[in-house]
Amino acid sequence: MTKISQRGIKREFRMNEEGIMTLENSGRSYQPADLCILRTYRFEGDSNPADNVALYVVKDTEGNLGMIIDSYGADSNYPGDEFDKFLREIPIKEDEEFTL
């Protein structure tokens, strides 16, 4: 996350309790088509499956960059399947600029 924030990506896209994806401190809400995943990183803990985390570098249609962070595996940051469904519907356009 330090390397990502050094590239100016400091805000987080988050899904609220009503199932609406928002960008931190912006007041904007999004549909999957409003976003694009530029890079996906997966981090796995050495001994604890609960330490598995996915970090997605995301850009909205106005060019705002942010990240989505989610634990994956048995434990997710988001209950139910709304977040997973939303995430699967976001277009992916891998961008080499965000390779660490």
CB 98 within 8 A of CB 39: yes
For β-strands 35-43 and 21-23, DSSP reports them as unpaired
pLDDT score of 95 more than 90 = no
Predicted local distance difference test score (pLDDT) of residue 87: 93
Average pLDDT over residues 66-77: 78
φ and ψ at 96, to 5 degrees? -60, -20
pLDDT score of 24 more than 80 = yes
Distance set, CA 40 to CA 1, 17, 65, 75 (Å): 12, 24, 14, 18
**Average pLDDT score over the chain:** 86
CB 60 within 8 A of CB 4: no
In the structure, what pLDDT confidence band is assigned to residue 48 with cuts at 50, 70 and 90? low
pLDDT score of 51 more than 90 = no
